[in-house]
């Protein structure tokens, strides 16, 4: 069955993806479920992140959709030992774990990530260690890992001999546990301290793991002292991570901390178009807009949508249009559409400006009331699926031209008035996160 599934998938994914990520998997169909055994975490993560949907789609098209699909580390017949017993205890200096697709060239820049990107490019400059460590923080799927790996890939492009290591924090912890168990701490320390650049992803996983933090702290200091590069990511500002030692937090603040924000609509569209291009998918701009308008908070979901579109288009042999996307992504978009409602927007805006909902929806036209109302209408246009007349109706029975005017006014204000722009961005974030 797995072989058939592979053959099926082969027709729609790039061959190199299939060879690189899917061939190494061992499949085990049991009790209506499917366990996929990956040889290591890198493969597991990639499959989990990018390939789970194509696999599920393929099986479903074959009429064989399992009840659940799990992606695990470890070979079925080879060992029953837990994942931590992998050869992780012998970190090899040459394995940098970087994914070659994550580069600055494939990273789409927008207002939301501009600063983070510029900082990352600096961190990848071989002649200049301006800020060290560089900390990139922000929500899930906003490109932290992509940027961090871009630093590594750029460093290696300039200095192929450089010892660069990309490690997820969980992996660092596992590796250390194994090293302790096998009395190999010296080797572990030696490995990390000999690096030219250490990229350590998702340090929120260190929370509560004291021994790991301590080890990391020492590694960290030793690298910093000799001006080796460190890039760190975290899913929020580290000060807000409970269970993370203060001395670590304060060390992070020696360098530069930059945030990645959810991308604005235009950036989301640009990302979709660029990914489509990369995967050889013909994606009309209006379809990109249609999807990006709805899938707002997470770039990973944009990619997921794209891959599903591609698969459906290939099976049915139809070109990708807005109507086609509506159908193919029906369930996924429904989830997003439900997220933000007119009521939700109205309540949030009223709360934000500390005004009464009745005023927001009422007839008063004083600036302090009309402005938030316009913002709320513009947000409704951007964040929901509702038409202009529907939005007008929902805002105390107003005409659709009033809504249109509000949208234009807000667009203009956002370009000229930083306060309005900031309010809009804040509200949009509150509503979509």
Residue 115 vs 369, nearer CB to Mg ion: 115
Cβ(152)–Cβ(197) below 8 Å: yes
Cβ 46 to ligand ADP shortest distance, Å:
10
Question: CA-CA distance, 210 to 246, in Å (whole number)?
Answer: 12
141 counts as binding ligand ADP under rule CB under 6 A? yes
For ligand ADP, what does the binding mask look like between residues 263 and 282, x meaning CB under 6 A?
--------x-----------
300 counts as binding ligand ADP under rule CB under 6 A? yes
303 counts as binding ligand ADP under rule CB under 6 A? yes
Give the residue carrying structure tokens 């906003």: 142
Stretch that binds ligand ADP, among 55-63, 68-76, 139-147, 219-227 (CB under 6 A): 139-147
Stretch that binds Mg ion, among 137-145, 149-157, 256-264, 304-312 (CB under 5 A): 137-145
Query: Measuring CA to CA, how many Å separate 391 from each of 243, 384, 385, 413, 426?
Result: 45, 9, 10, 20, 21
Listed residue (280, 340, 337, 328) closest to 304, CA to CA: 328
Residue 113 vs 428, nearer CB to ligand ADP: 113
Residue 46 vs 174, nearer CB to ligand ADP: 46
Find the angle CA(278)-CA(312)-CA(42) to the nearest 5 degrees: 50
Question: CA-CA distance, 255 to 327, in Å (whole number)?
Answer: 48
Residue 145 counted as an annotated binding residue:
yes
Grouping H, G, I as helix, E, B as strand and the rest as coil, residue 353 is: coil
Residue 149 vs 346, nearer CB to ligand ADP: 149
Grouping H, G, I as helix, E, B as strand and the rest as coil, residue 292 is: helix
Query: Which residue number is nearest to ligand ADP in terms of Cβ?
Result: 143
Query: Measuring CA to CA, how many Å separate 18 from each of 56, 84, 353?
Result: 15, 26, 52
Q: How many C-beta neighbours within 10 Å does residue 145 have?
A: 20
Size of the site for Mg ion (CB under 5 A): 2
Question: CA-CA distance, 370 to 405, in Å (whole number)?
Answer: 12
Binding site partner of 146, from Mg ion, ligand ADP, none, Cβ cut-off 5-8 A by kind: ligand ADP
Question: CA-CA distance, 394 to 340, in Å (whole number)?
Answer: 14
Stretch that binds Mg ion, among 141-149, 152-160, 220-228, 411-419 (CB under 5 A): 141-149
145 counts as binding Mg ion under rule CB under 5 A? yes
Binding site partner of 107, from Mg ion, ligand ADP, none, Cβ cut-off 5-8 A by kind: ligand ADP
Q: What is the DSSP string of 194-229?
A: T-SEEEEE-GGGGTT-HHHHHHHHHHHHHHHHTT-E
Residue 144 vs 229, nearer CB to Mg ion: 144
Question: CA-CA distance, 290 to 321, in Å (whole number)?
Answer: 10
Cβ 141 to Mg ion shortest distance, Å:
8
142 counts as binding ligand ADP under rule CB under 6 A? yes
Size of the site for ligand ADP (CB under 6 A): 15
Stretch that binds ligand ADP, among 6-14, 175-183, 224-232, 299-307 (CB under 6 A): 299-307
For ligand ADP, what does the binding mask look like between residues 95 and 134, x meaning CB under 6 A?
-----------xxx----x---------------------
In sequence order, the 6+-apart residues with CB closer than 8 A to the CB of 264 are 110, 111, 112
Cβ(38)–Cβ(79) below 8 Å: no
Query: Measuring CA to CA, how many Å separate 147 from each of 124, 143, 166, 204, 351?
Result: 10, 6, 12, 18, 35
Q: Which one of residues 248, 299, 360, 403 is an interface residue with ligand ADP (CB under 6 A)?
A: 299
Residue 46 vs 178, nearer CB to ligand ADP: 46
Cβ 171 to Mg ion shortest distance, Å:
13
Residue 143 counted as an annotated binding residue:
yes
Cβ 102 to ligand ADP shortest distance, Å:
6
Cis peptide before 133 (omega within 30 of 0): yes
229-234 and 256-259: which strand pairing?
unpaired
Cβ 142 to ligand ADP shortest distance, Å:
4
Stretch that binds ligand ADP, among 54-62, 219-227, 285-293, 298-306 (CB under 6 A): 298-306
Cβ 107 to ligand ADP shortest distance, Å:
4
List residues forming the annotated binding site for ATP. 141, 143-145
Q: Which residues are annotated as a binding site?
A: 141, 143-145
Residues of this chain that bind Mg ion (CB under 5 A): 144-145
Contacts to ligand ADP by CB under 6 A? 106-108, 113, 140-146, 271, 299-300, 303
């Amino acid at each position: 069955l797995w072989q058939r599934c592979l053959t099926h998938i082969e027709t729609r994914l790039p061959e190199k993806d299939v060879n690189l990520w899917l061939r190494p998997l061992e499949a085990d169909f049991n009790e209506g479920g499917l366990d996929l055994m990956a040889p290591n975490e890198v493969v597991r993560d990639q499959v989990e992140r990018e390939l789970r949907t194509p696999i599920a789609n393929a099986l479903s098209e074959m009429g064989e959709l399992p009840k659940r699909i799990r992606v695990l580390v470890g070979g079925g017949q080879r060992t029953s030992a837990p994942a931590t017993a992998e050869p992780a205890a012998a970190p090899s200096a040459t394995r940098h774990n970087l994914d070659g697709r994550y580069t600055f060239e494939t990273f789409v820049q927008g207002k939301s990530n501009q600063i983070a990107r510029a900082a990352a490019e600096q961190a990848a400059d071989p002649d200049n260690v301006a800020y060290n460590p560089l900390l990139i923080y922000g929500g899930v799927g906003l490109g932290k890992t992509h940027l961090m790996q871009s630093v590594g890939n750029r460093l290696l492009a300039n200095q192929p001999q450089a010892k660069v290591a990309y490690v997820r924090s969980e992996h660092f912890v596992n590796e250390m546990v194994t090293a302790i168990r096998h009395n190999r701490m010296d080797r572990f320390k030696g490995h990390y301290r000999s690096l030219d650049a250490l990229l350590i992803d998702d340090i929120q996983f260190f929370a509560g793991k004291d021994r790991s933090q301590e080890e990391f702290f020492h590694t960290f200091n030793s690298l910093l002292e000799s001006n080796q590069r460190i890039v760190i990511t975290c899913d929020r500002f580290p000060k807000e991570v409970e269970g993370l030692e203060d001395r670590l937090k304060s060390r992070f603040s020696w360098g530069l901390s930059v945030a990645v924000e959810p991308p604005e609509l235009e950036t989301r569209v640009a990302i979709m178009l660029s990914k489509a291009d990369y995967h050889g998918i013909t994606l009309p701009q209006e379809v990109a807009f249609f999807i990006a308008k709805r899938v707002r908070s997470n770039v990973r979901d944009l990619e997921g949508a794209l891959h599903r579109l591609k698969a459906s288009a290939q099976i049915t042999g139809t070109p990708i249009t807005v109507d086609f996307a509506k159908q193919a992504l029906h369930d996924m978009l429904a989830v997003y559409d439900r997220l933000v409602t007119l009521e939700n927007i109205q309540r949030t805006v009223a709360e934000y400006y500390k005004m009464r909902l009745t005023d927001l929806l009422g007839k008063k036209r004083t600036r302090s009331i009309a402005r938030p109302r316009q913002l709320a209408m513009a947000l409704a246009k951007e964040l929901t699926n509702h038409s202009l007349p529907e939005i007008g109706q929902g805002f105390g029975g107003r005409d659709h031209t009033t809504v249109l005017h509000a949208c234009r006014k807000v667009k203009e204000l956002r370009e000229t008035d930083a306060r309005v722009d900031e309010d809009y961005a804040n509200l949009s974030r509150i509503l979509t996160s």
